[in-house]
Amino acid sequence: MTPPLQLGAPPLEVVDGAVALAPSAEELIRSRDRRRVQDARRHGRRWYLMWLLVGPGILAMLGENDGPSMISYAATGATYGLGMFLPFIVVTFAMAAVVQEMCMRVGSVTHRGYGQLVLERYGPLWGWFAAGDLVFTNLVTLIAEFVAIRIGLAYFGIGPGWAAVLGLGLVLVTISGRRYRSWERVVLGMAIFNGLFLVAAVMVRPNWSHVGHAFLTGSPFPGGSFNTLLLLIASTIGATVTPWMIFFQQSASADKGMTKDDVRHGRFDTVVGAALAAVFGCGALIVGAALFTHGGSNINGLAGAGFPGALSRIAGGGVATVFALGLIEAGAVAVLTISASTGYAVGECIGVPHSFNGSGHGSLVFYGANIGAAAIAAAIILVPGAPLLSIALNANVLATVLLPVALVFMIMLARDRELMGQWVNGRLTNWVGVAIVGFISICGAAYAIDSFLQTVHVIS
């Protein structure tokens, strides 16, 4: 006999004579997406299967090639030329690939997001700390993304109000379909235009033999202010590996419905994303290096049209236009992915539905956090006298300082045999992960200590 349905209880259905919870609308949508994957796998349609499974890794990597990151790369090129930073960008994205592979694997195996797992495995204190850490960092970073959109639009004479409207409007439009798949495909289509930075690099006509030499051998440690150098190192790290990426890719992999069978494709997705992001990031640095011999270190890239205006004078209007459009794209894609990571984190920690496939009152928290984070950032860039320059310049550094805690929990989850089974981290992955945490911690601490000693006038 089927028990009576209580008010507010999940719907029930009878399956083979047994009572079971009826699948939610979210689960039904995800099961339809999974059916496509299973059909493609069954019929050996390898390229179609790859197309169905790519997304979270590429979006995490190209989303991190955001406005502040690309301006940071360009500022580094303008300050030091190609220097040691060209191969350093590649190294940092290699680190990002290791970290994000763990995120994808944990999300695919457990079907749970990072925030939810930290809460379950290590208790509410650490779960809420991780979520609070992320939300604060995301708000700062989102402000920097709107600043990047504002800079790109300013080159075309468009006011800051339109930057706020564009960024917030994109968030509203992309979530309106209430489908993870449609959201992912739209943002992937936008992310392709991160390649504009590579186009701009070709247009400045660099000496490719010098580029190749810098990439293969690096160059002597650049001179100048040691504190500025530490800032650029910390900023470059924060431009490639950040807390929001950890939350986003693990949660997106679960939201997409990825399983243990999809881990191999998820690795491909992550590595391809890292490779593309590294190439496009190097493109931004090469563009900035065109200003190296023209007073590049004195260019204020975050004031007015900044870098696009300087490029227009040195390399021509075409390069400046492409670079400005690239900044708009970079900021817009990052607004979408970072807002999504905020929604995932808040929903996971509160314990309410947290999926783009969700609908109804149960998903109000997820969608509210997604929209609310973007709305707050959009409002702040319109406040007269707001310290936008300071916020944007320090967004990546803040991510570097706060990243080690998130990384430690990520490694602990990925090496938890009870949780991961045969998909647990290998010994080499564990050691590489620990080395990445140590390296990032040292770089962040070195900049913080040097800045403090200068502030108290111990050093000059």
Give the domain extent around 225.
Answer: 61-455
Dist. CA 19–CA 166, nearest whole Å = 48
- 46 found inside a domain: no
Bigger pLDDT: 65 or 241? 65
Task: Report residue 21: phi and psi, to 5°.
Answer: -65, 130
Mean pLDDT across the stretch 425-445?
89
Spatial neighbors of 442 by CB under 8 A, at least 6 apart, are none
Residue 4 lies in a domain: no
Cα–Cα–Cα angle for 239, 244, 245, rounded to 5 degrees:
70
C-alpha span between 452 and 457 (Å, rounded): 8
pLDDT of residue 3: 44
Q: Compare 25 and 211 and report the one with higher pLDDT.
A: 211
Query: CB-side exposure of 360: number of CA atoms within 13 Å?
Result: 7
Q: 201: Cβ–Cβ under 8 A, 6 or more apart, which residues?
A: 282, 283, 284, 286, 287
pLDDT at 324 over 90: yes
Backbone angles phi and psi of 248, in degrees to 5: -65, -55
CA separation for the pair 93, 84 (Å, rounded): 15
Which helix (H) or strand (E) element contains residue 18? strand 18-21
CATH label of the domain that carries residue 344: 1.20.1740
Q: Which of 354, 76, 363, 50 is nearest to 232 (CA)?
A: 76
Degrees, nearest 5: CA angle 197-202-207: 125
Q: How far apart are CA 122 and CA 276, in angstroms?
A: 35
Q: How far is C-alpha 234 from the geometric centre of its chain's CA atoms?
A: 16
Question: From residue 229, how far is each of 332, 347, 418 by CA, in Å?
Answer: 29, 39, 43
Q: What is the pLDDT of residue 360?
A: 65
Determine how many CB atoms are found less than 10 A away from the CB of residue 345.
31
Q: How crowded is residue 193: how many other Cβ atoms within 10 Å of its Cβ? A: 18
User: Which tokens in the block code for residue 200?
Assistant: 């701009």
Asked, for residue 179, whether it belongs to a domain, the answer is yes
Q: What is the pLDDT of residue 5?
A: 38
pTM of the shown model: 0.87
The larger pLDDT score, comparing residue 98 to residue 351, is at 98
Average pLDDT over residues 200-228: 78
pLDDT in tens, 370-399: 999 999 999 998 888 777 767 766 777 777
Of 34-43, 177-186, 226-235, which range is least confident? 226-235
- In angstroms, the Cα distances linking 301 to 9, 22, 29, 312, 331 are 55, 55, 44, 13, 15
Q: What is the reported pLDDT for 197? A: 96
Per-residue pLDDT reduced to its tens digit, 110-140: 998 898 899 889 888 888 888 888 888 888 8
Residue type, 164: A
The lowest-confidence range among 137-146, 283-292, 387-396, 403-412 is 387-396
Q: Hey, which of 3-17, 163-177, 383-397 has the most confident mean pLDDT?
A: 163-177
Q: Is there a domain that residue 404 lies in? A: yes
- Looking up tokens 């905020």 gives 342
In a domain, 260, yes or no: yes
22 in a structural domain: no
What DSSP element (H or E) covers 367? helix 364-380
Measured from the Cβ of residue 375, the count of other Cβ atoms closer than 10 Å reads 18
Give the whole-angstrom CA distance, residue 60 versus residue 341.
10
| The amino acid at 305 | A
283 Cβ partners below 8 Å, 6+ apart?
197, 198, 199, 200, 201
Specify the number of domains making up the chain: 1
Range in 150-154, 243-247, 302-306 with the lowest mean pLDDT? 302-306
Torsion region of 114: left, alpha or beta (phi above 0 gives left; psi -120 to 50 gives alpha): alpha
The whole-number pLDDT of residue 295 equals 55
**Residue 247 within any structural domain of the chain:** yes
Which residue is associated with the tokens 């090496």?
415
pLDDT of residue 19: 46
Residue pair 281/70 in contact by the 8 Å Cβ criterion? yes
Closest by CA position to 222, among listed 292, 291, 295, 306: 292
For residue 444, CA distances in Å to 29, 120, 231, 252 come to 43, 29, 9, 28
What is the mean pLDDT of the segment spanning 398-407?
Answer: 81
Candidates 215, 201, 202, 203; CA nearest to 83 is 215
pLDDT at res. 282: 93
Q: Are 406 and 320 in contact (CB under 8 A)?
A: no
CA-nearest of 364, 381, 35, 361 to 175 is 364
Tens-digit pLDDT profile for residues 256-277: 989 999 999 999 999 999 999 9
* Cα distances (Å, whole numbers) of residue 148 to 140, 161, 164, 265, 328: 13, 13, 11, 33, 7
What is the Cα–Cα distance from 375 to 333, expressed in whole angstroms? 15
Taking 60 as the threshold, does the pLDDT of residue 6 lie above it? no
The pLDDT value given to residue 23? 58
Tell me the average pLDDT of the chain.
Answer: 83
Average pLDDT over residues 140-168: 90
Q: Residues 290-311: pLDDT tens digits?
A: 888 665 545 554 444 577 888 8
Per-residue confidence at 236, pLDDT binned at 50, 70, 90? confident
Is it the case that residue 160 has pLDDT exceeding 90? no
Report the pLDDT value the prediction gives residue 37, as an integer from 0 to 100: 86
To the nearest whole percent, how much of the chain has pLDDT over 70?
87
Q: What is the maximum span of the chain, computed from C-alpha positions, in angstroms?
A: 83
Is residue 37 assigned to a domain?
no
Judge contact between 361 and 192, C-beta under 8 A.
no
* Model pLDDT, residue 460: 59
